Amino acid sequence: MAVTRRALLERVLQGIGVGVVAGGVDRALADSQVEATGQASGPLTVRVSRPFDAETPVREFTSWLTSNERFFVRSHFGPPSAEAIQPESWRLTVKGLVKDELTLTLPELKKFDPITITAVLQCSGNGRAHHRPKVPGVQWERGAAGNAQWTGVRLRDVLQRAGVKPQGLHVQMQGADRPALPTVPLFTRSIPIAKALHPDTLLAYEMNGRPLPLLHGAPLRVITPGWMAESCMKWLTEITLRADETLGYYMQQAYRIPETSIQQGSGLPGSVMVPVEQMPVKSLIAAPGEGDTLKTGPVTIQGVAWAGESPITKVEVSCDDGKTWEPARLVGEEQPYAWRQWQYLWNARQVGPTAILCRATDAQGIQQPEKSPWNPGGFLWNGWDRLSVMVAA
């Protein structure tokens, strides 16, 4: 089995253009996280090599869709064993507070009505590296996010087939991935029934029109559009209806934020912590790039903006380090849950170093803050995006 797992992981890493890490990939399956240098390797910037956590270089965000090969990867233990997700033997079970327990094969699942939704996926830790004081954990910068088309069936339809009992208020999700050590808790999460029954919440088997890649949860994953990616369970095998939120580390300790803002760096005993859910309003500059040298004259600045379940109504750009702001042009059509591309034509006149910033506003009138409120997990960073450039004659 170890051989199968190793061969599988090797294929996966090579398939996305990442060289197999020195020392062999078997250690990639260990629980200990090995910090990488943050250097570009193939199409992704590797943050942790074992298990493989890597972010998308933001220049990719000049495209509306983020390709499967360049989509950020985050998992706690690495992909499951090949046996656990073999198409022939793979099953999805639905149990707990339901009238009829279900066991579905992939072909059976695909008989429900298919739908496709374009949605941003973003890790709650994206931008953790910007929090001050510094927060331990994967030091994600800007690219633990991406926009993709997800095809699958409605979680609602599957739940309705099983018949949710009135006491079933939370939907627990379990994937086939397992920690190497039995003492490490499983990555088990739950979402409230309202989000699970929302017609846009998916069990997805395709990403950008292709079979869901192994690193992104093959054969089936949950997509909760507009919500942080921690509820987008990969390698899904089990759904359990429960009366309460899932217990255990990944729901009760990790991925929680203070309900109200707290003092920077405080230990906060007593403060109420709630699970991360909605994605807050955020924007990024995709081009030019950090440290670029630009010529005087017209410069196209472009990027993306998104706000979870809320549309983007405005993006502003500053080319003088935040002194003055100008509205950017929103490109294309608004699509719920997808990001919105934007452009700004800057006439660069003054030679020398400057900083370019952007900030977005959503339909509720909420504007990106200059800096996000500090929190102990370093989650939900959505401060103004900022890059330094040099203007040369």
For ligand MTE, the closer CB: 120 or 305: 120
Q: Whose CB is nearest to ligand MTE?
A: 175
238: CB partners within 8 A, 6+ apart = 92, 93, 95, 172, 173, 174
What sign for the dihedral angle of Cα 54, 57, 61, 64?
negative
For ligand MTE, the closer CB: 138 or 315: 138
* Least distance CB 263 / ligand MTE (angstroms): 27
- Contact status: 155 vs Mo ion (CB under 5 A): no
* Least distance CB 123 / Mo ion (angstroms): 3
184: CB partners within 8 A, 6+ apart = 31, 77
* Least distance CB 138 / Mo ion (angstroms): 8
* Side chain identity, residue 165: K
Alpha helices in the chain (DSSP H): 2-15, 106-109, 155-162, 193-197, 249-252
Residue showing tokens 């999460």: 189
Tokens of 361: 């506003």
- Decide the pairing of beta strands 92-96 and 282-287: unpaired
Footprint of Mo ion on 118-137 (CB under 5 A) = 123
For ligand MTE, the closer CB: 142 or 234: 234
- Residue 161: what are its φ and ψ, rounded to 5°? -65, -40
Q: Whose CB is nearest to Mo ion?
A: 123
| Residues 59-88 as x/- pattern, contact with Mo ion by CB under 5 A | ---------------x--------------
Chosen from Mo ion, ligand MTE, none, partner binding at 73 (C-beta under 5 to 8 Å by type): ligand MTE
For ligand MTE, the closer CB: 170 or 359: 170
* Least distance CB 73 / ligand MTE (angstroms): 4
For ligand MTE, the closer CB: 213 or 258: 213
